[in-house]
């Protein structure tokens, strides 16, 4: 890092509210899970995409991430996506590459054929007409099948997410939380937990929501599943500053979640833009002009924001931070829509930590 940039970053860190700056008392806490969601990476490699380290030399993308501090990789799994990617076969393939690099593995079950997030939780087509009891069996059997297949090839997942950003439930409408009734969702989460533990008792089960913006919403959800006696090992939150508020609020939500439920907390997703430009014809999911904390959309700015999120999480007692899709740079054929992967573009091209030629941002670091 250039001295001028180092000075600028130090000055910026000193400008963070004191509550967010790690103190000597909290320095003992470390981020033991330093993760990267690399779900789109296999498609990029299959299309001939290349990755380059900070020196501009072609290198294995996993090695580049490891050299930046990554020790955990996250893979989403869709049941039967039209793209043929992010399915069981591709996850098994990518899991072998991940474990061969000595990285830990997190499997993110969407329980869908496509994206599942707070605004949509569509069941897989094969399960669409199933009753709640049938869906309970589906969740158990599918989770167990994927986990045991991974285990059989020597890539047992270290962690499993039972659902992705399930703010108001999953497998709608059967598993949707309506009128504060968590019982249907709880019955599904329990099956995911039980299947994972039947496969591997050491695998951690995460429950993941995108509620880092609101302590009230976070409490509503986890209080709701706790009242239904849902077991889980890790409380997982998404935090994107442009959607989820200030770092001060993030600190408070993490601290409350950790102390209220007595479980480790992880930021399962975060990211920040490095440019205001767009590499393809697909509009950016987050425009480069939507900034946080007056941090510019530059390589240095992206690194600064990610460092601040890590510092905040660490100081609040979290145990991990995962960057979402750092390797998903714009390459034709790796579109966002599994039903039209060749015809759609990459809305994340300004949020990856690799530029449009595949060179890594030299300033981004995952730090304990």
Catalytic center residues: 165, 269
Peptide bond into 76 cis (omega under 30): no
Identify the H or E element spanning 161: strand 159-162
Please give the biggest Cα pair distance in the chain. 62
Residue 301 backbone dihedrals phi, psi, to 5 degrees: -65, -40
Helical spans, DSSP H, in the chain: 3-14, 41-46, 61-67, 88-100, 132-152, 183-199, 215-227, 241-244, 247-261, 299-315
Q: Do residues 77 and 107 make contact, with C-beta atoms less than 8 angstroms apart? A: yes
Q: How many CB atoms lie within 10 A of CB 118?
A: 15
Q: Do residues 5 and 303 make contact, with C-beta atoms less than 8 angstroms apart? A: no
- As a whole number of angstroms, the distance between CA 332 and CA 341 comes to 9
CA 213 centroid distance within chain: 16
CA 25 centroid distance within chain: 29
- As a whole number of angstroms, the distance between CA 270 and CA 164 comes to 14
238 DSSP β-pair partners = 269
């Amino acid at each position: 890092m250039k001295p001028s940039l180092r000075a600028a970053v130090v000055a910026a860190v000193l400008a963070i509210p004191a509550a967010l700056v790690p103190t000597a008392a909290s320095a003992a806490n470390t981020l033991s899970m330093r993760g990267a969601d690399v779900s789109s990476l296999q498609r990029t490699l299959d299309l001939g995409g290349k990755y380059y380290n900070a020196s501009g030399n072609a290198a294995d993308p996993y090695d580049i991430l490891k050299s930046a501090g990554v020790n955990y990789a996250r893979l989403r799994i869709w049941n039967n996506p039209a793209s043929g990617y992010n399915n069981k076969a591709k996850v098994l393939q990518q899991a072998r590459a991940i474990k061969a690099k000595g990285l830990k593995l997190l499997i993110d079950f969407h329980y869908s054929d496509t994206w599942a997030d707070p605004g949509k939780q569509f069941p897989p087509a094969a399960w669409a007409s199933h009753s709640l009891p049938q869906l309970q069996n589906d969740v158990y059997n599918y989770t167990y099948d994927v986990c045991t297949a991974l285990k059989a090839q020597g890539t047992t997942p270290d962690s499993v997410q039972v659902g992705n950003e399930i703010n108001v439930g999953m497998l709608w409408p059967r598993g949707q939380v309506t009128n504060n009734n968590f019982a249907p969702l709880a019955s599904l989460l329990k099956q995911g937990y039980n299947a994972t533990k039947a496969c591997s008792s050491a695998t951690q089960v995460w429950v993941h929501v995108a509620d880092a913006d609101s302590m009230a919403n976070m409490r509503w959800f986890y209080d709701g599943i706790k009242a239904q006696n849902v077991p889980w090992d890790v409380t997982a939150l998404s935090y994107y500053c442009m959607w989820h508020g200030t770092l001060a609020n993030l600190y408070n939500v993490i601290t409350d979640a950790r102390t209220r439920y007595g479980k480790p907390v992880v930021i399962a997703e975060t990211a920040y833009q490095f440019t205001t430009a767009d590499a393809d014809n697909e509009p950016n999911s987050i425009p480069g002009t939507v900034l946080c904390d007056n941090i510019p959309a530059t390589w240095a700015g992206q690194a600064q924001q990610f460092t601040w999120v890590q510092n905040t999480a660490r100081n609040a007692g979290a145990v991990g931070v995962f960057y979402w899709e750092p390797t998903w740079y714009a390459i034709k054929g790796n579109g966002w829509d599994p039903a039209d992967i060749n015809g759609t573009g990459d809305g994340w091209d300004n949020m990856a930590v690799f530029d449009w030629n595949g060179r890594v941002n030299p300033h981004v670091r995952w730090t304990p």
